[in-house]
């Protein structure tokens, strides 16, 4: 047998061997290994072609053409097999990930918004709609922000140990969110309009209407030429949005940080209910934050969130708001 015949026989045998191996390959990894074994730089086809150096120059074109034919045939078979295996792999993945829509779903109970949170959100939505910005502040405060800057006298009863929760470092837990107003005014120039929600603390005996921890929402507006009429109009809009159109009355009252001051009542289910306190910002408070009371005036108002929530939802005991009783909380959507 001549060298040419030997090379032709080797190429034919290689094609048949590769054809069988490719046909039985069952994974993409195995198919890639066959490609390297047969068509790689050190593969069997390259080994056969090294014998071309012993051929006569006139025989080399025939063997070269035959080798290219074998290479193209094997490359096509490899591509077809690769496509078949990839399609099968995708089909298997889809089959494994198929969702049976007839299976019962896992039950997860729907959450509820706590009545305190929903009352706060409802109030803030109203004030933001009136152009107010929501402001926040720390719950641990100094006597300055909690009392002095708000015009509380040194001997005011609210400063007593039996009313305020003092901390060992001399600070205290804020007794109202009015502290946020002072901090905001220190950092911002008029005109300002803010709503300050938050948790407050006072020494109090817990019963059906009192809690040592409670929530407030307060508003503050400072600008030129603000009057008590502006305050009354703002409160009227707020209460009508919260309760609907009900009779409202203002009663003279006293707060250290406002002058004049008033309590506000609404007529609810046949009786008058006190719902918030308000007043014009005392000039001493404006001076404490560097505002000129000869130029600017302001008004403030605030209410206890628990009280409004109890009125709106007809809750008979404030402790229900803190007991985490699911039977109670599931009533609120």
Q: Are residues 234 and 124 in the same domain?
A: yes
Q: H or E element: which one contains 296?
A: none
Average pLDDT value for residue range 120-131: 96
Average pLDDT value for residue range 119-125: 96
Average pLDDT value for residue range 29-42: 81
Report d(CA 303, CA 216) in Å as an integer.
6
Average pLDDT value for residue range 155-176: 81
* pLDDT value for 159: 63
- Measured CA angle at 225 (ends 220, 230), to 5 deg: 55
Alpha helices for 130-227 (secondary structure H): 143-146, 178-187
* pLDDT value for 92: 84
Q: Are residues 12 and 156 in the same domain?
A: no
Q: Are residues 202 and 301 in the same domain?
A: yes
* pLDDT value for 160: 62
Q: Could you give the 3-state DSSP secondary structure of residue 274?
A: strand
DSSP string over 115-146: HHHHHHHHHHHHHHHTTPEE----SEE-HHHH
Q: Are residues 78 and 121 in the same domain?
A: no
Per-residue confidence at 161, pLDDT binned at 50, 70, 90?
A: low
With a pLDDT cut of 90, the percent of the chain lying above it is 52
* pLDDT value for 331: 85
Q: Are residues 263 and 138 in the same domain?
A: yes
CATH no. for residue 245? Answer: 3.30.930.10
Report d(CA 118, CA 124) in Å as an integer.
10
In 3D space, the residue among 103, 41, 45 whose CA is nearest the CA of residue 73 turns out to be 45
Q: Are residues 23 and 135 in the same domain?
A: no
2-11, 26-35, 301-310: lowest mean pLDDT where? 2-11
Residue 210 domain boundaries? 115-329
DSSP string over 281-294: EPHHHHHHTT--TT
pTM, 2 dp: 0.67
**Residue 238 belongs to a domain:** yes
**Residue 106 belongs to a domain:** no
With a pLDDT cut of 70, the percent of the chain lying above it is 93
Q: Are residues 168 and 292 in the same domain?
A: yes
Average pLDDT value for residue range 144-155: 88
Q: Are residues 87 and 172 in the same domain?
A: no
Select the more confidently predicted residue: 30 or 154: 30
Last residue of a domain, one of 48, 67, 96: 96
Cβ-based neighbours of 215, under 8 Å, separated by 6 or more: 116, 120, 197, 198, 199, 200, 304, 305, 306
Q: What is the mean pLDDT of the chain?
A: 88
- Determine if the peptide bond prior to 274 is cis (ω within 30°): no
* pLDDT value for 156: 64
Q: Are residues 75 and 164 in the same domain?
A: no
Q: Are residues 122 and 81 in the same domain?
A: no
Give the pLDDT confidence of 182-234 residue by residue, as tens digits: 999 999 999 999 999 999 999 888 888 889 999 999 999 999 999 999 999 99
Last residue of a domain, one of 38, 66, 96: 96
Domain count, the chain: 2
How far are the Cα atoms of 27, 139, 329 from residue 324, in angstroms, in the given order? 58, 23, 7
Average pLDDT value for residue range 287-296: 95
**Residue 239 belongs to a domain:** yes
Q: Could you give the 3-state DSSP secondary structure of residue 172?
A: strand
Residue 255: is its pLDDT beyond 80? yes
**Residue 101 belongs to a domain:** no
**Residue 127 belongs to a domain:** yes
* pLDDT value for 172: 94
Per-residue confidence at 104, pLDDT binned at 50, 70, 90?
A: confident
**Residue 109 belongs to a domain:** no
Report d(CA 171, CA 156) in Å as an integer.
17
* pLDDT value for 127: 97
Phi-psi region of 218 (alpha: psi -120 to 50; beta: other; left: phi over 0): beta
Residue 270: is its pLDDT beyond 80? yes
Q: Are residues 124 and 237 in the same domain?
A: yes
Q: Are residues 23 and 63 in the same domain?
A: yes
Return contacts of 205-209, CB within 8 angstroms, 24+ apart: 206/319, 207/318, 208/316, 208/317, 208/318, 208/319, 209/318
* Contact by Cβ (8 Å): 278, 262: yes
Select the more confidently predicted residue: 83 or 296: 296
* Contact by Cβ (8 Å): 160, 200: no
Last residue of a domain, one of 61, 96, 131: 96
Residue 162: is its pLDDT beyond 60? no
Take residue 241 and report the two structure tokens written for it.
């949005």
């Amino acid at each position: 047998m001549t060298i040419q015949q030997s090379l032709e026989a080797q190429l034919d045998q290689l094609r048949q061997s590769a054809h069988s191996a490719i046909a039985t390959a069952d994974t993409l990894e195995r198919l890639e290994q066959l490609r390297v074994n047969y068509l790689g730089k050190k593969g069997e086809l390259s080994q056969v072609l090294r014998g071309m150096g012993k051929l006569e120059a006139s025989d080399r074109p025939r063997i070269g053409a035959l080798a290219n034919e074998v290479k193209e045939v094997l490359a096509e078979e490899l591509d077809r097999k690769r496509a078949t295996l990839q399609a099968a792999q995708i089909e298997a993945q889809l089959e494994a990930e198929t969702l049976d829509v007839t299976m019962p779903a896992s039950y997860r109970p729907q959450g509820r918004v706590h009545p305190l949170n929903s009352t706060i959100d409802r109030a803030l939505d109203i004030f933001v709609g009136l152009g107010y910005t929501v402001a926040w502040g720390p719950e641990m405060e100094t006597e300055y922000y909690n009392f002095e800057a708000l015009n509380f006298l040194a001997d005011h009863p609210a400063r007593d140990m039996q009313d305020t929760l003092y901390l060992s470092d001399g600070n205290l837990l804020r007794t109202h969110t009015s502290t946020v107003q002072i901090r905001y005014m220190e950092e911002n120039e008029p005109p300002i309009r803010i709503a300050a929600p938050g948790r407050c603390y006072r020494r109090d005996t817990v019963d059906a209407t009192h809690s040592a921890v409670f929530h407030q929402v307060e508003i503050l507006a400072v600008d030129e030429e603000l009057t008590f009429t502006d305050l009354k109009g703002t409160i009227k809009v707020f209460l009508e949005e919260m309760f609907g159109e009900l009779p409202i009355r203002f009663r003279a009252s006293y707060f250290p940080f406002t002058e004049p001051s008033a309590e506000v009542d609404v007529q609810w289910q046949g009786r008058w209910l006190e719902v918030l306190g308000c007043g014009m910002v005392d000039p001493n408070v404006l001076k404490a934050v560097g505002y000129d009371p000869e130029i600017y005036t302001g008004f403030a108002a605030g209410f206890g969130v628990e009280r409004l929530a109890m009125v709106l939802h007809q809750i008979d005991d404030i402790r229900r708001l803190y007991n985490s009783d699911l039977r109670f909380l599931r009533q609120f959507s």
